[in-house]
């Protein structure tokens, strides 16, 4: 008879008090919990490697827990190795992506908060697929833990985290906030909320709630249009929370937290990059409380959209600047790593077999 064995739980699915209890039941002192979490934060590759723990405890930990809830199934690199994109399989079979971007003085991880996204923006690969499920806090955090473990191998540290991967973080509110607290935990990664960006399509009540959390994160609003008629189409949640409400919520967030709000604008040629769009944006935002990031659209398959030319992008940026706003044109990290959210996953699910490292292709099942 074959007995199906269930995989042990991932270690980060335990709260600190649950880990202490587990250790206590094995006659271990309370400080062991701190030791285990410290090893996780420093990038220990296994429980075996936690060598100031007694050998029998290490064996029990290895038998009782998995080091991560995530199973890496595909990896691709871009920007001469400065960008790494990983596709992870979650328990239950869904997959999510995380992208590490290395710069001279910082290493930023872009993480996912949901499988797919319920908002359904037409220019976004994630929005085009079906919504799967919310990630739990430890599944979000494990993306950072895994990335920091990989960075530790080359003596680097993860310094920043942006919630700009798959999913709408404000539609998975409590686990996202819990994961930000885990990121900040000095026993683990110690990544201050000041180095975390939460990007949202604009769930107004959640923005107000986030302002009250006493978490000094940067809020990024994915605006993409400064008139309701266009934004209703580009970011469909706008039909529920129109621009006037969204900008008021962002202004309140800036006032309550003392932190300037970022506005993301994916530039789609001929759709939202005209003088009229720039002027409308200039009228909508308060220059003292906002910063505009222009993101050239990263092409995805099966859409009619087009990205801007270098010239039209520069002209659009200048026009917004002339309206008194701060503007940054963002680089397009990882274009050749399918960097726009949802793209590596979309390709692997299709199974066209182009994966770097020869990792799982067509066999991936989005159950
Ligand atoms: N759901 C959240 C966070 C994830 S998307 C949000 O929309 O803010 C992160 C950012 O990537 C958003 O600003 C989104 O508009 C942008 N984005 C999505 N698809 C893109 C593409 N193909 N090219 C460039 N940016 C894209
Ligand atoms: Fe969802 Fe953001 Fe993509 Fe829109 S852009 S579908 S909100 S992930």
Ligand 1 nearest atom to the CA of residue 124, by list position:
19
pLDDT in tens, 275-313: 999 999 999 999 988 999 999 999 888 889 999 999 999
Ligand 2 nearest atom to the CA of residue 124, by list position:
3
pLDDT in tens, 52-85: 999 999 999 999 999 999 999 999 998 888 999 9
Q: What are 337's two structure tokens?
A: 């790593």
* 132 pLDDT above the threshold of 80: yes
> 89-123 b/e with 16+ CB inside 10 Å = b?
bbeeebbbbbbbbbeeeebbbbbbbbbbbbbbbbb
- Are the CB atoms for 120 and 126 separated by under 8 Å? no
| Residue to mutate, 108, 161, 164, ligand 1, most ligand atoms under 8 Å from C-beta | 164
> Is residue 33 within a helix (H) or strand (E), and if so which, with residue range?
helix 31-41
Q: What is the pLDDT of residue 302?
A: 83
Mean pLDDT value across the chain: 90
pTM across the whole model: 0.92
Q: Distance between CA atoms of 270 and 309, rounded to whole angstroms?
A: 11
Q: Which of 88-97, 298-307, 314-323 has the lowest mean pLDDT?
A: 298-307
300 Cβ inside 6 Å of ligand 1: yes
Q: What is the pLDDT of residue 343?
A: 54
> Is residue 151 within a helix (H) or strand (E), and if so which, with residue range?
helix 137-153
Q: What are the residues whose beta carbons fall under 8 Å from the beta carbon of 32, sequence distance 6 or more?
A: 23, 53, 57
pLDDT in tens, 332-346: 765 554 555 555 555
Q: Go through the domains of the chain in sequence order and give each one's CATH number.
A: 16-64 (no CATH), 71-351 (3.20.20.70)
Q: What is the DSSP letter of 234?
A: H
* 361 pLDDT above the threshold of 50: no
- Are the CB atoms for 337 and 102 separated by under 8 Å? no
Q: Tell me what the mean pLDDT of segment 104-118 comes to.
A: 95
Q: What is the pLDDT of residue 2?
A: 53
- Are the CB atoms for 81 and 96 separated by under 8 Å? no
- Are the CB atoms for 147 and 100 separated by under 8 Å? yes
pLDDT in tens, 164-199: 999 999 999 999 999 999 999 999 999 999 999 999
pLDDT in tens, 2-55: 555 678 999 999 999 999 999 999 999 989 999 999 999 999 999 999 999 999
To the nearest 10°, the Cα dihedral for 177, 182, 185, 189? -130
Q: What is the pLDDT of residue 3?
A: 58
Please name which ligand lies nearest the alpha carbon of 117: 2
69 Cβ inside 6 Å of ligand 1: no
222 Cβ inside 6 Å of ligand 1: yes
Positions marked active-site: 97, 341
Q: What are 187's two structure tokens?
A: 């026993």
Confidence label for 348 from pLDDT (cuts 50, 70 and 90): low
DSSP string, 169-230: GGGGHHHHHHHHHHHH-TTTT---GGGEEEEES--HHHHHHHHTS---PEEEEE---SSHHH
Packing angle, helices 31-41 and 137-153, rounded to 10: 60
Identify which has the larger pLDDT, 227 or 364. Answer: 227
* 353 pLDDT above the threshold of 50: no
Q: What are the residues whose beta carbons fall under 8 Å from the beta carbon of 233, sequence distance 6 or more?
A: 122, 225
Ligand 1 nearest atom to the CA of residue 296, by list position:
24
| Residue to mutate, 111, 129, 134, 167, ligand 2, most ligand atoms under 8 Å from C-beta | 167
Report the nearest-CA residue for atom 5 of ligand 1.
Answer: 164
Q: What is the pLDDT of residue 78?
A: 87
Q: Distance between CA atoms of 333 and 109, rounded to whole angstroms?
A: 12
151 Cβ inside 6 Å of ligand 2: no
Q: What is the pLDDT of residue 301?
A: 82
- How many Å lie between the centroid of ligand 2 and the Cα of residue 336? 20
203 Cβ inside 6 Å of ligand 1: no
Alpha helices in 227-342 (DSSP H): 228-234, 243-257, 275-284, 310-321
226 Cβ inside 6 Å of ligand 1: no
Q: Tell me what the mean pLDDT of segment 129-141 comes to.
A: 96
Ligand 2 nearest atom to the CA of residue 167, by list position:
8
Q: What is the pLDDT of residue 367?
A: 22
- How many Å lie between the centroid of ligand 1 and the Cα of residue 124? 6
Q: Distance between CA atoms of 14 and 25, rounded to whole angstroms?
A: 15
- How many Å lie between the centroid of ligand 1 and the Cα of residue 264? 8
- How many Å lie between the centroid of ligand 2 and the Cα of residue 290? 21
Please name which ligand lies nearest the alpha carbon of 267: 1
201 Cβ inside 6 Å of ligand 1: yes
Q: Tell me what the mean pLDDT of segment 203-224 comes to.
A: 96
266 Cβ inside 6 Å of ligand 2: no
* 357 pLDDT above the threshold of 70: no
The DSSP bridge partners found for residue 77 are 84
Report the nearest-CA residue for atom 8 of ligand 2.
Answer: 167
Q: What are 73's two structure tokens?
A: 């199934």
117 Cβ inside 6 Å of ligand 2: yes
Of all residues in the chain, the percent with pLDDT exceeding 90 is 81
246 Cβ inside 6 Å of ligand 1: no
Q: Distance between CA atoms of 293 and 300, rounded to whole angstroms?
A: 20
């Amino acid at each position: 008879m074959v007995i199906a064995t269930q995989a042990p739980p991932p270690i980060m699915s335990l709260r600190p008090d649950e880990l202490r209890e587990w250790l206590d039941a094995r006659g271990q002192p309370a400080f062991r919990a701190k030791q285990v979490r410290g090893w996780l934060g420093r990038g220990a590759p296994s429980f075996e490697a936690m060598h100031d723990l007694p050998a029998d405890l290490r064996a029990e930990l290895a038998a009782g827990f998995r080091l991560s809830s995530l199973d890496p199934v595909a990896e691709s690199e871009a920007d001469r190795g400065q960008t790494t994109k990983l596709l992870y399989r979650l328990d239950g079979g869904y997959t999510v992506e995380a992208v590490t971007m290395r710069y001279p003085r910082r290493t930023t991880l872009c993480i996912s908060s949901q499988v797919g996204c319920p908002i359904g923006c037409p220019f976004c690969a994630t929005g085009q697929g079906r919504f799967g499920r919310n990630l739990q806090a430890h599944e979000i955090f494990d993306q950072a833990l895994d990335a920091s473990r990989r960075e530790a191998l080359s003596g680097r540290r993860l310094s920043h985290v942006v919630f700009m991967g798959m999913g709408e973080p404000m539609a998975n509110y409590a686990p996202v906030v819990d994961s930000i607290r885990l990121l900040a935990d000095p026993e683990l990664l110690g990544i201050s909320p000041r180095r975390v960006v939460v990007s949202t399509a604009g769930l107004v009540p959640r923005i107000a709630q986030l302002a009250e959390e006493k978490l000094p994160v940067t809020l990024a609003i994915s605006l993409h249009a400064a008139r309701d008629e266009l934004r209703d189409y580009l970011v469909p949640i706008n039909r529920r929370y129109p621009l006037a409400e969204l900008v008021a919520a962002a202004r309140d967030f800036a006032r309550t937290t003392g932190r300037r709000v970022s506005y993301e604008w994916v530039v789609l040629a001929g759709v939202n990059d005209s003088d009229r769009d720039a002027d409308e944006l200039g009228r909508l935002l308060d220059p003292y409380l906002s910063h505009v990031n222009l993101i050239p659209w990263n092409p995805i398959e099966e859409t009619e959209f087009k990205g801007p030319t270098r010239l039209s992008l520069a002209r659009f940026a200048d026009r917004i600047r002339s309206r008194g706003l701060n503007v940054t044109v963002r680089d397009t990290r990882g274009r050749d790593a399918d960097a726009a959210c949802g793209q590596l996953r979309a390709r692997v699910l299709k199974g066209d077999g182009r994966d770097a490292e020869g990792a799982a292709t067509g066999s991936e099942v989005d159950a």
